[in-house]
Structure 1
């Protein structure tokens, strides 16, 4: 983007990224809550005692972790209220639209389309109904009704918002997926084009492509003007030949979780996970794809990771430091600490197929001589005693079974030298576990893939103090947060922390 080009609107970019990444998580939570009958077990505020989590689990007949994963985003969105120390209730506005039988029937009908939405590329190419589960579905007609027809009436403004998130948001996400898969976004970035020309270039039926473009228009991305279909001014500032590939990288990951999210209610009730990352081959495939995806944005993540290294360096020197990067992924966190001091040495621990993605980065940064690649399972390797000055946990806690965390932290604490630091990067929930929303959506994904959880600072402290790491604070960093813990033998950096 040239210096003369106006900067993209942060609000538009945020909305675009939300529809690419988190809208599916939010919609899955809303749809699972309806399917599980969860709302039916919540009293309206002021009419009865709040329902505790334990009571909801019993009434829904599901796993506690699963029910909580569904409820927490709905609390953050305001559709459910959490009364401290008591439990959950429905705000009057939510209770009002959930008493409307026609509205609830519409929700149940919208839920039937979750898996069919993923066939949108096929519908746009063929211009005909698609077949799913042995039944023909007029998917293009469904998109016309959602985005191109006059909106229906709703019981109240909250109901309109609920329906939009429940039914339209997943359809928006799949419109982006289809537009990327068909090459529509790439073609629009090049400039405006008449519908028939655009349809020929992306191998689509013009009338079907018009539905997809109309959906993008309703999202503020595309518009029809004199020269044909092109990007809106806001979309043109946010998406260009350089930024589009970065944006589109999120879409395959979103689609990879689609079936699992569509069966979230099943995961809660039966603990049956359609994308089970505790299954070795599934985990190998997904984490290898993740490592490759992260590697493609390694440079930008490295700049952010180096800020964490600078924070640690304010607390203790990194000269001759022995650093362990557990669950290294692309290796970006370990590399940041390797670059922080020319005498530091970093060990990168992960599975062999993930470490394959680390080697090229170390070679490019000329860190190979001060690096060790350690292939192993972070839950079973022997970390030794007093071996490391700094131990890094880059976004791996949510991937680990919660029952394993006490023993895992005990082994890591044993491996820290006196004056050593444990640095945990990733999402950090509020003390009430009612935000931030992106962290709760990430936590939901972890549940639906049978992995771990996202924690709050008090929850981290409860795990770390028993193993001797009695001091722990959270620090806000760009994009994510870090928790730094030690034995009380290191002075805290003079930096703003979250607690």
Structure 2
């Protein structure tokens, strides 16, 4: 069982780990979903007249928003061509996507999507798992996909599609399972014999050997005789302090698993297996998210302070009144509260989320300048000329697109002269063909029946009609911020995103 022969840098390895934990399943879902929807049968060949998004949606029997959420990652990855202002077509190099054998392979792979969530059971029992009245050899599928010899692929692009679509989600499940059974934690102290690892994880030895083999193919594990340990890069990346942080993404990934398994159903029937417009579902997911972010609160406060420093370069914050809309963990409002001792911050969110916020603010000794406002951000009355800065921390993708014009109108009315609207989160390119992590996040928002990720042209179409005529995007650590004003505040000497 050989360790991966590639030698990525430490930074590249950590990025790859995070991709497998967070975005790999999103990518697989888009690629497999496109095949399930028959999308490639309805795309014209490159050189022919492209098909518009609306026509493509009609041809596959899907909604425009759902069709766009699937095809945008395909454009970003280069499998589909987008001609600005005209539409989509299938490049010559992507002709393999119509081959019956390749389509059959993708459909077979997709048939393992929901079953793969039972990998922890398979590793613990060493037996096939029951699925829809059938016995499915999940461990055998993993052996075939990762441990059996494979013939060289004659078509590099087809091999890349296959790798991303058919195996990336299996890699995600291997990581999630390794966390669930305690394998990653068990490997932190150093190499251990297989039988010992099987005992501490409650697994069958030969089933665990399969899982370890998959991790070895991913460059995470290496074998020394009958003992297994982290690879050198994994050992430096997944120590006792960093492993808990890394594993916090696993529950969120699994929240969306069933929804991604039925992506085609969401696109064609608007049936959402994870519907965050349902109040009880939203309460459960958002409360968990706020709790998870609380666990990494300190590091995110540092990121939020970067945005506060950018705002200070535009206008002073002395005695400023700041509104943090959809505050989540309270991290962005706290960052602005820490930036200037006279700033007063109002934290707006649902009551159950605010219960997560209050201890975070108390620890920073900011409660004396804090107000907690329980309410729905779309229905509350923000008043007129109440705030100097309004923060929207990753709120827009959670809101129905049809509600945004009225929402921005109320926020603009609530801003004082020289007021700033600060929107944090992902920002798409003007063509909506990247960055890939933003496109995957947008797909996740779609399958949970939420909002959208926007580009700067999208934002300007919403902001300018309500009087926020000046807006720019700025690069921040991890994500971006969009800042908007009435044009009465000078821009800082900082290059915008675009």
Band the TM-score falls in, shorter-chain normalisation? over 0.9
1:54 maps to: 54
CA distance in 1 between counterparts of 2:157 and 2:367 reads 56
* SS in structure 1 of the partner of residue 192 of structure 2: coil
**Which 10-residue stretch deviates more, 144-153 or 174-183?**
144-153
Give the CA deviation at 1:153: 4.8
CA distance in 2 between counterparts of 1:85 and 1:469 reads 26
Give the CA deviation at 1:99: 3.7
CA distance in 1 between counterparts of 2:37 and 2:9 reads 40
Give the CA deviation at 1:227: 6.5
2:67 maps to: 67
Give the CA deviation at 1:154: 3.8
* SS in structure 2 of the partner of residue 190 of structure 1: coil
2:345 maps to: 346
What are the superposed Cα offsets for residues 404-430 of structure 1, whole Å, 9 maximum, x if unpaired? 000000000000001100000000000
What are the superposed Cα offsets for residues 95-118 of structure 1, whole Å, 9 maximum, x if unpaired? 1x1243222211111110000000
1:256 maps to: 255
Q: TM-score, normalised by structure 1?
A: 0.97
CA distance in 1 between counterparts of 2:375 and 2:193 reads 55
**Which 10-residue stretch deviates more, 474-483 or 83-92?**
83-92
What are the superposed Cα offsets for residues 101-152 of structure 1, whole Å, 9 maximum, x if unpaired? 2222111111100000000000000000000111110000000000000124
What are the superposed Cα offsets for residues 57-99 of structure 1, whole Å, 9 maximum, x if unpaired? 110011000000000000000010101121111111111x124
CA distance in 2 between counterparts of 1:426 and 1:68 reads 20
CA distance in 1 between counterparts of 2:216 and 2:174 reads 11
Flag as ranges the 4+ runs of structure 1 deviating above 4 A.
none
Task: Say yes or no: does 1:407 pair with 2:409.
Answer: no
2:30 maps to: 29
Task: Say yes or no: does 1:138 pair with 2:121.
Answer: no
Report the count of equivalent residues. 491
CA distance in 2 between counterparts of 1:172 and 1:277 reads 27
CA distance in 2 between counterparts of 1:421 and 1:102 reads 55
**Which 10-residue stretch deviates more, 49-58 or 121-130?**
49-58
CA distance in 2 between counterparts of 1:124 and 1:156 reads 34
What are the superposed Cα offsets for residues 156-207 of structure 1, whole Å, 9 maximum, x if unpaired? 0011110111111010000000000000000111111111111011111001
1:98 maps to: 97
1:188 maps to: 187
1:11 maps to: 12
What are the superposed Cα offsets for residues 458-484 of structure 1, whole Å, 9 maximum, x if unpaired? 110110000000000001010010000
Give the CA deviation at 1:226: 3.9
Q: TM-score, normalised by structure 2?
A: 0.97
1:3 maps to: none
2:46 maps to: 45
2:3 maps to: none
- Residue 40 of structure 2 contacts residue 98 of structure 2 at CA under 8 Å; is this kept in 1? no
- Residue 93 of structure 1 contacts residue 156 of structure 1 at CA under 8 Å; is this kept in 2? no
CA distance in 1 between counterparts of 2:337 and 2:228 reads 49
Stretches of structure 2 that go unaligned for 5 or more consecutive residues are 1-7
1:169 maps to: 168
1:478 maps to: 477
- What does 1:4-403 correspond to in 2, within 5 Å? 9-46=10-47, 48-95=48-95, 97-226=96-225, 228-403=227-402
* SS in structure 1 of the partner of residue 484 of structure 2: strand
- Residue 475 of structure 1 contacts residue 496 of structure 1 at CA under 8 Å; is this kept in 2? yes
**Which 10-residue stretch deviates more, 432-441 or 50-59?**
50-59
Stretches of structure 1 that go unaligned for 5 or more consecutive residues are 1-6
What are the superposed Cα offsets for residues 274-316 of structure 1, whole Å, 9 maximum, x if unpaired? 0000000000000000000000000000001001001101111
CA distance in 2 between counterparts of 1:248 and 1:363 reads 27
Give the CA deviation at 1:238: 1.1
